[in-house]
Amino acid sequence: MEATVAQLPELDAAGFADAIKAEGTPVLVEYVADHCIWCERLEPILTATVEKYQARLRIVKVNVQRYPQTAPAGGVRATPTLALYRGGRLIMSKSGMMQRAQLVSFLDHWLDPANEGLSGA
C-alpha cells in the first residue's frame, strides 16, 4: 500500500486575498502553473516542512494560470515562486526549485522578527 503525501491547500483568488490580508500568522504562497514539473517536485518538500512551521506560518498554493490577479506586483516570471506575506504585505519572494535545507534557511531568516519589519513595525 502506497503512502499518500498530503497536499497544500489550493486557494482561488478570493481565498488568496483573505489569506494574505489576515493579521498575525505569515502566509507562504507557492505560485504554481499547470504542468509545472518543478512545482510538483517542490510541493512534497513544502508539505514536509509545514509541520516544523505550523505554529508560525501558513503554507498554501495558488495557480497563477487560473488566477493571474494573485501574482505580486510585477508578476510571477517563473514557477514555482514562493512569496511570503504578512498582514497583506509582500515580504519576500523567490523563484525556482529549493531543497529542504534551502527552504528551511529561507524561512528561518524571513520569519525572524528582526528581518524586514516582521515584528509588526
Q: Which residues are catalytic?
A: 36, 39
First to last CA, the chain: 50
- Nearest to residue 72, comparing CAs of 96, 89, 58? 89
Which residues, in sequence order, are CB contacts of 79 under 8 Å at separation 6+? 31, 32, 33, 36, 38, 39, 64, 95
Give the max Cα distance, the chain.
50
